[in-house]
């Protein structure tokens, strides 16, 4: 068992597909972790006390270090637990580039198909929250358009699934061969979502037997070893720990970001989300780390990816 300072804590809820990506990542590396269940809808006071306002799922905590976004989570897991590797081949750079599509365009299609096909059957407060998050200010129109345009949306996901099905048709266990990789988790979470939450999902996926065999292989990887933890214990853990010291200055930063600056960070999307404010501790092309402090948690380092996030200088 790791000591409590280095114990992995995942703030998430069972139905979240992006959390499923992180849970599969734990399975690939066979890690032990603590599960803190958060609400599916805001307010999420325990989570935002740690994150500074970031409300998406999942968020990983290790001591007083808070990792927002699955991109940041996977990167940190690879740094702390390099074996087995998330990138079994020699193509980590290309795999990260590909993950911009899995986390962006592909996930977006999954969300539009699931929410669009649910139509008027979504609970109103859920429709309003997720509608605003994924469809912008005119979310009600966006949801209706997704419902009316469902066949088109499905055609957009069918093509890449057919490509994957053909590739997997050579009998390999995972997308890159015999060993599971980050890209398996990054594609699997959308397939898992479509299978579990779209009423036509199982029928749609039955067109792709090799993809279905692969889905089962990824499912069998499991989630590592999970034990529950209460939200208050997670807050107390942060309060009892100091963030891991980190340094980083980037002479070529296009925004001139430097340690010591006060900034805000938010997803680079129109989701109506609250930006997180803090002081830059370290910055590079992959990650920005902010220092925040709250009476209950003491000093925290909150980490965000650069790709997909907007930094504003305050
Ligand atoms: N880019 C983020 C996306 C996270 C995301 O959109 N997660 C969904 C759940 S699957 C979410 O936050 N939904 C709203 C919520 O949980 O409050 C990541 O990769 O972690």
Distance (Å) from CA 58 to ligand 1 centroid: 6
Residues 6+ apart with CB under 8 A from 21: 70, 185, 186, 188, 189
Say yes or no: domain 4-84+226-313 is CATH 1.10.3720.10: no
Structure tokens at 289: 């780390």
pLDDT reported for residue 3: 86
The response to whether residue 69 sits with its C-beta less than 6 Å from ligand 1 reads yes
Nearest CA to ligand 1 atom 13: 56
The response to whether residue 61 sits with its C-beta less than 6 Å from ligand 1 reads no
Q: Which atom of ligand 1 is nearest to the CA of 189?
A: 10
Q: Average pLDDT for consecutive 10-residue bins of the chain (314 residues)? A: 87 98 99 98 98 98 98 98 96 98 98 96 96 97 97 98 98 98 98 98 98 99 98 98 96 98 97 97 98 96 98 96
Distance (Å) from CA 57 to ligand 1 centroid: 4
Q: Where in the chain is the domain with CATH 3.40.30.110?
A: 4-84+226-313
The response to whether residue 16 sits with its C-beta less than 6 Å from ligand 1 reads yes
Distance (Å) from CA 59 to ligand 1 centroid: 9
What is the Cα–Cα distance from 79 to 167, expressed in whole angstroms?
29
Structure tokens at 232: 């208050």
Residues 6+ apart with CB under 8 A from 145: 116
Quick check: 103 and 136 in contact, CB under 8 A? no
Tell me the C-alpha to C-alpha distance, in Å, between residue 236 and each of 50, 223, 266: 11, 25, 26
Q: Which atom of ligand 1 is nearest to the CA of 22?
A: 20
Would you report the helix, strand and coil content of the chain in percent, each value rounded to 5? Answer: 45, 20, 35
Q: Where in the chain is the domain with CATH 1.20.1050.10?
A: 92-221
Q: Which fold has domain 92-221?
A: Glutathione S-transferase Yfyf (Class Pi); Chain A, domain 2 (1.20.1050)
Q: Which atom of ligand 1 is nearest to the CA of 17?
A: 10
The response to whether residue 22 sits with its C-beta less than 6 Å from ligand 1 reads no
Strand ranges across the sheet with 298-305 = 225-228, 32-37, 8-12, 59-62, 65-68, 298-305, 287-294, 276-283, 262-267, 309-313
Distance (Å) from CA 270 to ligand 1 centroid: 14
Distance (Å) from CA 251 to ligand 1 centroid: 32
The response to whether residue 51 sits with its C-beta less than 6 Å from ligand 1 reads no
Distance (Å) from CA 172 to ligand 1 centroid: 30
The response to whether residue 23 sits with its C-beta less than 6 Å from ligand 1 reads no
Nearest CA to ligand 1 atom 19: 70
How crowded is residue 48: how many other Cβ atoms within 10 Å of its Cβ? 17
pLDDT reported for residue 164: 99
Mutational pocket test of ligand 1: of 10, 18, 196, the residue with most ligand atoms within 8 Å of the beta carbon: 18
Nearest CA to ligand 1 atom 7: 57
The response to whether residue 17 sits with its C-beta less than 6 Å from ligand 1 reads yes
pLDDT reported for residue 2: 62
Quick check: 14 and 20 in contact, CB under 8 A? no
């Amino acid at each position: 068992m790791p000591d409590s300072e280095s114990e992995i804590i995942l703030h998430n809820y069972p139905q979240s597909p992006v959390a499923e990506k992180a849970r599969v990542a734990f399975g690939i590396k066979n890690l032990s972790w603590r599960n803190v269940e958060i609400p599916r809808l805001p307010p999420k006071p325990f989570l935002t006390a740690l994150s500074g306002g970031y409300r998406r799922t999942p968020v990983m905590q290790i001591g007083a270090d808070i990792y927002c976004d699955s991109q940041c989570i996977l990167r940190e897991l690879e740094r702390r637990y390099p074996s087995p590797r998330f990138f079994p081949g020699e193509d980590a750079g290309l795999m990260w580039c590909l993950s911009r599509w899995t986390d962006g365009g592909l996930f977006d299609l999954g969300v539009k198909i699931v929410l669009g096909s649910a139509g008027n059957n979504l609970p109103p407060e859920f429709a309003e929250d997720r509608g605003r998050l994924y469809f912008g200010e005119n979310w009600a129109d966006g949801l209706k358009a997704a419902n009316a345009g469902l066949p088109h949306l499905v055609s957009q996901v069918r093509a890449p699934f057919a490509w994957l099905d053909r590739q997997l048709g050579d009998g390999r266990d995972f997308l890159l061969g015999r060993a599971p990789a980050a890209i398996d988790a990054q594609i699997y979470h959308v397939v898992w979502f479509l299978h579990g939450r779209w009423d036509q999902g199982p029928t749609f996926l039955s067109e792709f037997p090799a993809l279905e065999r692969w889905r089962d292989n990824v499912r069998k990887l499991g989630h590592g070893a999970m034990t529950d933890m209460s939200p208050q214990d997670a807050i107390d853990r942060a309060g009892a720990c100091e963030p891991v010291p980190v340094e980083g200055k980037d002479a070529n930063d296009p925004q001139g970001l430097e340690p010591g600056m006060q900034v805000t960070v938010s997803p680079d999307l129109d989701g109506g989300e609250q930006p997180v404010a803090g002081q830059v501790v370290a910055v590079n092309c992959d990650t920005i780390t902010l220092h925040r402090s709250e009476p209950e948690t003491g000093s925290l380092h909150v980490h965000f990816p650069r790709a997909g996030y907007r930094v504003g200088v305050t």
